[in-house]
Amino acid sequence: MEEEGYIADFNGIEKPGDYFHRLRDEIQNYNEKFHAFNFIPEKLEEGFPFSVKDNICVKGVETTASSRILSGYLPPFDATVVRRVKEKGFSFIGKTNMDEFGFGSFGINTDISARNPFDEDRVAGGSSSGAAVATALIKYHIAIAESTGGSISNPASFCGVVGFTPTYGAVSRYGLIDYANSLDKIGLMARSVKDIEFVFDIMKGKDEHDSTSVDRKIENKKSRKITVIDEMIEGVDEDIKRSFDSLLGKLETQGYKISHISLKEIGISGPVYYIISMAEASTNLAKFSGFKYGLKVEDFSLDYNTFFTNARDAFGEEAKRRIILGTFVRAASVRARYYQKALSLRALLIRKMREILKDSYILSPTMPIKAPKIKDVEKLTPVQNYMLDILTIPPNLCGFPHISFPYDYIDGLPIGAQVITDHFNDKALFSFVEDWENNFTYKFKYNLGEI
């Protein structure tokens, strides 16, 4: 695999002797305004810069998933993806901000919210908010991020970068602080899909530490057909709808055949996703009890309830909400009605979507809205929040690979489209977006580290 894109450019350019020192200071300065990073190392090694979402372990570096309950946690090992990328000479530049444990869509469930580089009053998206902001700020850089229900696509689209979520199982999750094990995928964000393809080849493949990782050939079965699912366009803001229509027009002139179909099962994907993800999250968070994991209360004279209440009080509000709801849907008395039903509806949706993906891509806007103002998002109810994930949830719920790429700018804000393909056909997405990049130039307001 040859280096292309920004990685090739970077490695081909002579850099001043103090380049990495200056880059570090620049990132630190800008971080005071944009809050992309939870942690920046004192000194950067030489190599192409990469950042790591704060729910992925980096040896000896505080890893908190933006949760107070994990403050001070220093992993004694690197996550497999981090180890593999380091071994290829990439340079670690920091841990990126996120919604606590991945719970959120706007990057606001954290101590200090990351800011959108196109307009600082607006959100960066979530939950991988910092990864997207870092990518939009730093010219030569790739972000290792993670998605459960849209955490890569969503912030990538709000911040105008490319965000790739691989097929479930194509990349090892070893060293990831789990949100929902049957849904979590480690992926990438970059300024060009070429860099994503290069680093994905380094990260992917079987890992003996993760039994769900597989050694399947990643295909590049291209298609000239695009399917648009009517239900995925219904709730989209008018200005985004108009611009998406013109994207379809452009793709048609580039030789794609576009067809529109109805798939009413798409409507169930939101509730199904939140039932499954919360059920799994509530079991994953049970271990943070203050004994082996989580905030250490260390006062063993306290009675049982007070001890655990103190230890678990460090969870944020959204985490607490999900523990309660997730525990409820798993309860013996209602399990068949919610959790088990959700599992069978997920299987149904996978079947329905695979039929479409047999010989075509599925394309939609990534988000139904432009990046909203932080103050407006704070007024949303939890359910209004959850509903905004309606376009990113279907591929995530079904484990299909997908990429969000910037395709237009409305009122100075970037918007993204999301292309989905069948399991283990991830490389076809790279081909699709590469063709797009040959005809379209992404805009960036900042170019930290430019040489």
Report the catalytic residues: 53, 127, 151
Retrieve residue 198's tokens: 């290069």
Q: Which is nearer to ligand GLN, 31 or 154 (CB)?
A: 154
Question: Measured in Å, how far apart are the chain's first and last C-alpha atoms?
Answer: 25
* Residue 163: CB minimum distance to ligand GLN, A: 11
158 near ligand GLN (CB under 6 A):
no
Secondary structure (H, E, C), 272-291: HHHHHHHHHHHHHHHHCCCC
| Candidate segments 88-96, 100-108, 186-194, 218-226, binder of ligand GLN by CB under 6 A | 100-108
Q: Which is nearer to ligand GLN, 66 or 127 (CB)?
A: 127
Please tell me whether residue 148 binds ligand GLN under the rule CB under 6 A. Answer: yes
- Which one of residues 66, 135, 147, 243 is an interface residue with ligand GLN (CB under 6 A)? 147
Q: Cα 213–218–224 angle (5° rounding)? A: 140
Contact range with ligand GLN by CB under 6 A, out of 102-110, 309-317, 326-334, 421-429: 102-110
Note whether 150 binds ligand GLN by CB under 6 A: yes
The piece of 69-77, 142-150, 191-199, 213-221 that touches ligand GLN (CB under 6 A) is 142-150
Strand order in the sheet with 225-229: 37-39, 91-96, 49-53, 142-147, 185-190, 162-165, 402-410, 413-420, 361-365, 225-229, 257-261
CB 226 within 8 A of CB 258: yes
Q: Is 149 in the site for ligand GLN (CB under 6 A)?
A: yes
Radius of gyration of the chain (CA): 21
Residue 404 in contact with ligand GLN, rule: CB under 6 A:
no
The two three-digit tokens of residue 324, written as one number:
């309660």
Q: Which of 179, 288, 338, 361 binds ligand GLN (CB under 6 A)?
A: 179
Instruction: Choose which of 78, 197, 389, 426 interacts with ligand GLN (CB under 6 A).
Output: 389
Q: Residue 135 interacts with ligand GLN (CB under 6 A)?
A: no
Distance CA 207, CA 436 (A): 33
54, 141 Cβ separation under 8 angstroms: no
Q: What's the min distance (Å) between Cβ of 159 and ligand GLN?
A: 15
Query: With respect to ligand GLN, which residue has the nearer C-beta, 85 or 183?
Result: 183
Q: Quick one: which of 75, 88, 63, 76 has its CA closest to 203?
A: 88
DSSP code of residue 160: T
**Window 113 to 132, contacts with ligand GLN (CB under 6 A):** 127
Residue whose CB is less far from ligand GLN, 54 or 389:
389
How many residues sit close enough to ligand GLN to count as binding (CB under 6 A)? Answer: 13
Give the H/E segment covering residue 222: none
Q: Which of 151, 157, 223, 284 binds ligand GLN (CB under 6 A)?
A: 151
5 binding ligand GLN? (CB under 6 A): no
Instruction: Give whichever of 103 and 444 is closer to ligand GLN, judged by the CB atom.
Output: 103
**Considering beta carbons, is residue 13 or 324 the nearer one to ligand GLN?**
324
Binding-site member from 102, 117, 160, 449 for ligand GLN (CB under 6 A): 102
Considering only the stretches 61-69, 77-85, 96-104, 405-413, report the one whose residues sit in contact with ligand GLN under the rule CB under 6 A.
96-104
- Distance, CA of 334 to chain centre: 31
Of residues 249 through 308, those in contact with ligand GLN by CB under 6 A are 277
Spatial CA neighbour of 35 closest among 139, 144, 143, 108: 108
Only one of the segments 22-30, 45-53, 149-157, 435-443 lies at the binding site for ligand GLN (rule: CB under 6 A); that segment is 149-157
Q: Which CB atom, from 151 or from 213, has the smaller least distance to ligand GLN?
A: 151
Structure tokens given for 142:
């790739």
Where does this chain touch ligand GLN (CB under 6 A) — which range of 97-105, 116-124, 284-292, 333-341? 97-105
Beta strands in 45-107 (DSSP E): 49-53, 91-96
For ligand GLN, the closer of residues 96 and 243 by Cβ is 96
DSSP letters, 367-424, are: -SSPPPBHHHHTTS-HHHHHHTTTTTHHHHHHT--EEEEEEEEETTEEEEEEEE--TT
The pairing of beta strand 37-39 with beta strand 91-96: antiparallel
Of the candidates 416, 414, 395, which has an alpha carbon nearest to the alpha carbon of residue 404?
416
Which stretches of the chain bind ligand GLN, using CB under 6 A?
Answer: 102-105, 127, 147-151, 179, 277, 389
